[in-house]
Amino acid sequence: MPRFIPFEFHPLSDAARLERADAFYEEMRRRRSVRYFSDRPLTPGLIEKLIAAAGTAPSGANQQPWTFVAVTDPALKREIREAAEAEERDFYERRATSEWLQDLEPLGTNWIKDFLEIAPALIVVFRQVYGLKPDGTLKKYYYTTESVGIATGLLITAIHRAGLVTLTHTPSPMDFLEKILHRPPNERAFLLMPVGEPAEGATVPDIQRKPLDQVLAWNREAPGAGG
């Protein structure tokens, strides 16, 4: 029989809920992806807290199919940078379509990824495509992509709340991360995230997020039709 425990719930007034929702939006509205990092070391114990927060995410059948690898060793960061830049250079110079490059132009990106070496820490997110039972046989996992995506969202939020910045870097393909970090065969690289403080004078692209009426739909209405 499944075991259940009481759910700890702290009711709020309607006004308090709106106030909290608004305050959280205002804080997250200031979140930006940053490509210019300071090399200042992180406070000891901070990475652990960020990963612990990410690990509170819901997951399919509560299988928690994620592994977060923190990389702080300079030589290992350099190795990751060199491998990532090799893939990125091939992408920008050979594999990317003209439309894709045009879409990337407002972001000012290129194949050079020095932030992978400058940032004091890299967090590499891995998706466990299946599990292993105690006897070594395979265990099926469910909704692994969705589950790891949710956990990553919490990680990004935790990083921002801690007064740090990050970037969701996705060099493709990313299997070099599995090899460099000696990950087991059930893990696939999902995301590569430099973490740290922004460099002095760091800038971000002058871009805008879609307004609410373009992303919110009520019931069967199209976005912008009202509620």
3-state SS record for 115-148: HHHHCCEEEEEEEECEEECCCCCEEECCCHHHHH
Which H or E element spans position 195?
strand 187-196
Q: Residues 140, 157, 67, CA angle at the centre, nearest 5°?
A: 30
| Residue that the structure tokens 């997110």 belong to | 125
Give the chain's end-to-end CA distance (angstroms, integer): 43
Q: Find tokens 């922004």 and name the residue.
A: 198
- Work out the pLDDT band at 170, boundaries 50, 70, 90: very high
DSSP-derived letter for residue 197 is P
Three-state SS at 34:
coil
The alpha carbon torsion through 47, 50, 53, 54 (nearest 10 deg) reads: -100
β-sheet with 187-196: strand ranges across: 66-71, 121-128, 187-196, 165-166
Instruction: Tell whether the model's pLDDT for residue 227 goes beyond 60.
Output: no
Q: What is the mean pLDDT of the chain?
A: 95
Q: How confident is the model at residue 221 (pLDDT cuts 50, 70, 90)?
A: confident
pLDDT tens, position by position, 24-72:
999 999 999 999 999 999 999 999 999 999 999 999 999 999 999 999 9
Q: Tell me the whole-structure pTM to 2 decimals.
A: 0.94
CATH class of segment(s) 34-197: alpha beta
Residue whose C-alpha is closest to residue 116's, from 46, 24, 35, 31 = 35
* C-alpha–C-alpha distance, residues 148 and 104, integer Å: 25
The domain spans of the chain are: 34-197
Phi-psi region of 156 (alpha: psi -120 to 50; beta: other; left: phi over 0): alpha
